[in-house]
Structure formats: C-alpha cells, structure tokens
Structure 1
Amino acid sequence: MSQPRWAVVVPVKHLTAAKSRLRGALPGVPHEELALALAADTLRAVLACPAVAEALVVTDDTRVAAAARAAGARALPDGPDAGLNAAFRHGAAGTIAGWVAALTADLPALRPAELAGALLAAQNGRPAVRRFVPDAPGSGTTLLTAPPGVPLDPHFGVGSAVAHAASGALPLSGDWPSLRRDVDTAADLTAAARLGLGPRTAALVAASRPAHSAG
C-alpha cells in the first residue's frame, strides 16, 4: 500500500545557545559537541524513516547546516522572525511534500520505525486535522503533524501539549518511547541512554566516562 511521503522540519539553534540545561552534563565534552550530536542522531533517524521524503533543518549555525547537508537533508537559514515556532513555520513554508511534520532536534534515541508508526497514525486519523505526540512527561510535544492544505500552526514551548490541544490538534497515542524521549536535562539523557542512543551521542557519553585501569 502506498502512503503519503512526509517532509520533516527540524529547527536547531546556534550550538552555543542550544540545550542550555544540558551544559556540563558530560564532563570533558564540549557543550556544542553534545548539542550537535543530539541533532545529528535525531536527523539520522529521520532520514532512515521510509515515510520521509525530505528532511529540512532550519538553522543559522554553519556547523549544523554542514552536518545536515552531509547527511542528505536540506538546510534552510532562519527566517526574519525569532523563536522555535517561527522556525517551524518558516521550514514548513519551504517544504515540497504535502504532509508536514515538525520534530524537535533533541531525540537522540529516536528509532525510524517509531517515527514511521506515528506518521502513519497521523495519516490514518481524521482528515484535515493536525496531530501531535506528547513527550514522555506528557506536558511537552516532540512531534506535530499537518495534512496537505492545513497550516502547521506550531505551539512549542512550556506546556505545549495543552497549547496544541487548545489549538485544535489531536494527540496521537502509540508505543513510541524513543519518539517521546526528548533530552533537556542530564536525567533525560540517562533515560534516553536506557533506550539506546544514536552513534554520535553514544560516543560522547562513552568518552565522558572516566577510564578505569584493568586489574
């Protein structure tokens, strides 16, 4: 059975400003490297998802843009308006596919199959309705979807799950732990590690562990 092909928009801040609550989470690892690894592993999973036709990274950071292009994604500079929701809207306006998804860039344990499952569930829901996936705690949002012809209308930020529901989006329910596990704190990173991190983040976590002498 053929299925609609998705455009996935992933905004990433300048690495120096990204994921500020994670600063110092991995001793000896530069913060910018950790922020880049989270985004790179998220993007890797997106590009491996069979439902995705294109991935578009919205960023003004040259390192992020270069990594995105090297992975096979498009990189788009931020638009004139500041903020995460403006970046999502700007990216959605530049997509080619009719079905659009907004995804946060801090899902280092993301599994392509789980993303595909959520996108399929969004397609099979009520027509012309936006859908969203709450994060693991339930208050935030990791994924927002919009069918062709329907504005994305993102409301990411504190309390975004309630904000998205209030805007008319319907929650998606499914067994997608890696899709729900965004990483804002060191505790979140530990929880993501239990699910299995992507290769770049896993390498940094391993590098931050103190060496133990044998014997």
Structure 2
Amino acid sequence: MRTDGELTTDTDTTAHWSLVVPLKPLVLAKSRLAPAVGGVPRSRLALAFAQDTVAAVLACPAVRDVAVVTDDPVAAAKLAAQGARIVPDLPGAGLNAALAHGAEAVRERRPDAPVAALNADLPALRPLELARVLGYATGFPRAFLADRAGIGTTLLTAAPGIELRPGFGGPSRRRHSASGAVEIPLDGVDSVRQDVDTPDDLTAALALGAGSRTTAVLAADARAARG
C-alpha cells in the first residue's frame, strides 16, 4: 500500500496546472504485461493504473483539474466518477494527436492555464512528487521528465500561451529535447518516472508502492490462483 511521505520543495505549488491524461481503449492496452499478470485481464489492470494515476493527480496540490482523453466508455465512467473531465478522442489519430486535442480542450475553458501531459500508467504516483516536478517546470516555456529507463517521457509541460507539441512514443526523451523542451533533472521523483509497460516495470512500481486499485486487482488475482 502506498504511503505519501513528507516531501519539501521551495517551488510554488499553487493549484493552477491542468493535466491531460491519454487513455487508449482498454482492450488494446498493456499487451506486453500479459506474461506477468497471470489471469488478470489486461483491461482491468490498465484501468486500475489509470484510476490510481488520476487519484494521485487530483490529490496533488499543484493541480487544479485533470482531463482524460479517451473513447473507452468504461474508463470514462470510472474516471469521471473520480472527478476527471472526460474529453472524447475526436482526432482518433494516436497518442500525440489525442494529447494536443486534450490541451486545446483545456485551454478553451482556461486560456491562461499551464498544461501538462502525463502518462496514464503511473500506479505508484505520489502527489507531492508530482508537485515538485510541476513546480520546477513552472520556470520554463516547455519542460519534460524522462522515464525510469531514460528513453521515454512520462510528463511534458507547456506554460500559458505555449503550444504543448507532444512527441510521445519510443525515444521521446530525445525527441522532446530536440524540440526545445528543457529536461527536468530532479532526483527523488521516482514515482513520476515509473510508468508500466513491461513485467520489470510492474515489479518496480509495486516496490515503490502502487495505489489501492492496482494492488486490489493483483491481490484478487492472487487469491483466485490459490483457489
């Protein structure tokens, strides 16, 4: 069970950020996790990851609101019940188009909002670590946080009036750096870096302390396996 310890920062954590979280249809999610999760349907695990991610985002003192871009009706209902705004994926053209669309939807309501795109598979996310990252990003037009592997990106930010220009997928750390975004160099924010695509990622997230929905899904499967 995750516990969020005290974490201090000298950056401003005023609740003014809008976060955009993309979520593909659950039946298509997390195919690489299949060998590691026994009888757990991947769709249930992907939903649990997203629910834990959104819960932590909404508990972050730097965040004002969160928009989830998805066309999955089950995920939309569950995440809306948690307090997320659901934005249909009208472009239907993949991850980065969905994120750009979500950022535009956020700014239709809050034109001066700083916006951040965040992965939906951060089940160990800690609100105060996210606040530290966003506090650091406040000083730059665009900034990003590399994932634990140092290849991808888990978070990309854009200041008010600045286009998000997402380039997620594959070696996105290099892509975002090349686009002019500043890399966030903070230590001690492992929960914001730890996305889950592979069995090793899941092990690392559980070691950090995954959220209640992820642990509940895995515990139920373990009980079923024991008969």
* Same-fold call, TM cutoff 0.5: yes
Report TM bin, short chain. over 0.9
Matching residue's letter, 2:130? L
Q: What is the CA-CA distance between 1:7 and the residue it aligns to?
A: 0.4
The Cα shift of 1:206 comes to 1.7
- 1:86 paired with 2:86, answer no
How far the C-alpha of 1:111 sits from its partner, in A, is 0.2
- Find the residue that maps to 1:182 and give its secondary structure: coil
The residue aligned with 1:155 is 167
Residue in 1 that maps onto 2:85 = 74
Instruction: Find the counterpart in structure 2 of residue 182 from structure 1.
Output: 195
Q: CA deviation at 1:101?
A: 0.3
**Aligned mate of 1:110, from 121, 125, 128:** 125
> TM-score, normalising length from structure 2?
0.88
**For structure 1, which runs of at least 5 residues remain unmatched after alignment?**
none
Counterpart of 1:145 (choices 149, 157, 160) is: 157
Q: CA RMSD in A?
A: 1.6
Structure with the larger helix share: 2
Q: Which residue of 1 aligns with 2:76?
A: 65
TM (norm. structure 1) is 0.93
Q: CA deviation at 1:24?
A: 4.1
Secondary structure of 1:106's aligned partner: coil
Aligned residues between the structures: 210
8 Å Cα contact 2:91-2:98 kept in structure 1 = no
CA shift, 1:212, in A, is 6.2
Deviation at 1:173, TM superposition (A): 1.4
SS across alignment from 1:16 = helix
- Structure-1 separation of matches of 2:13 and 2:202: 36
Q: Is the 8 A contact 2:52 2:213 kept in 1?
A: yes
Deviates more, 1:199-208 or 1:63-72: 199-208
Contact 1:79 1:86 in 2 (8 A): no
Specify the code of the residue in structure 2 equivalent to 1:33: R
> Residue 199 of structure 2 aligns to which amino acid in structure 1?
A
Which residue of 185, 202, 205 maps to 2:215? 202
> Displacement of 1:4 after TM fit?
5.8
Query: What runs of 5+ residues in structure 2 fail to find an aligned partner?
Result: 1-11
Question: Are 1:101 and 2:113 an aligned pair?
Answer: no
Preserved CA contact (<8 Å) 1:13 1:59 = yes
